[in-house]
Chain A
Amino acid sequence: EVQLLESGGGLVQPGGSLRLSCAASRFTFSTYAMSWVRQAPGKGLEWVSGLSGSGGSAYYADSVKGRFTISRDNSKNTLYLQMNSLRAEDTAIYYCAKGADSSGYWPDYWGQGTLVTVSS
């Protein structure tokens, strides 16, 4: 079955940076769009960013546009999220999610998540 393993979360001060990684396995990574979705403590799900299978097309929620950058290394089957200028409201569990088909960004599989805490 599809496996997605996030890493890189932790405690960071406001204004700081963090890079999340998502190691994918058991599917042809380069074929599928991938997304990051976050969940603030006790809150609902919020789509953050999506990236096409080739990496050529990236999309962002308005709340992170200009601060976050999504990328992928298809040779390493890994998805990334570079987060800069972090704010307290970015505190959340960040999930990596696989797109359901070659052109679809909506997720069919999710990783277990990595917690990002932005606090001084």
Chain B
Amino acid sequence: DIQMTQSPSSLSASVGDRVTITCRASQNILNHLNWYQQRPGKAPKLLIYAASSLQSGVPSKFGGSGSGTDFTLTINSLQPEDFATYYCQQSYTTPLLTFGGGTKVEIK
């Protein structure tokens, strides 16, 4: 089974900051990596698919990069609505999907 490891598990940041979240796969998954945002009490929302493609309607402040085993989600100019938990997910072994453990972005 492919394991997905996110780091950090949580971080504190201020409004206006740029934050970076990393996700590492236990084996090569090419670019089959998606990122989701989950606000408290809400369902997850797709932000980035295929490692770097921005989902329709998602602001360009969100960016994804990487391939193989190492991936990054970057959020520019953090706003109050961006404080949430972010999950990576590999779809290389679709239909069996694996999520990372999540990164909680909190207000400093």
Contacts and interface: CB of A to CB of B under 8 A. Distances in A.
Majority secondary structure, B binding face:
loop
A108 B91 contact: no
Contact of B96 (A61, A95, A113): A61
Nearest to B32: A106
A33 B99 contact: no
- Tell me whether chain A's interface is mostly helix, strand or loop, or mixed: strand
Given A37-B44, A106-B97, A107-B46, 6 more contacts: A45-B102, A50-B95, A100-B46, A107-B44, A108-B49, A109-B46
Nearest to A100: B49
Given A35-B95, A104-B94, A105-B91, A110 B43 contact: yes
A67 B55 CA distance: 35
Interface of A: 33, 35, 37, 44-47, 50, 57, 59, 61, 95, 100, 104-113
A45 B87 CA distance: 8
A105 B93 CA distance: 10
A110 to B, nearest CB: 4
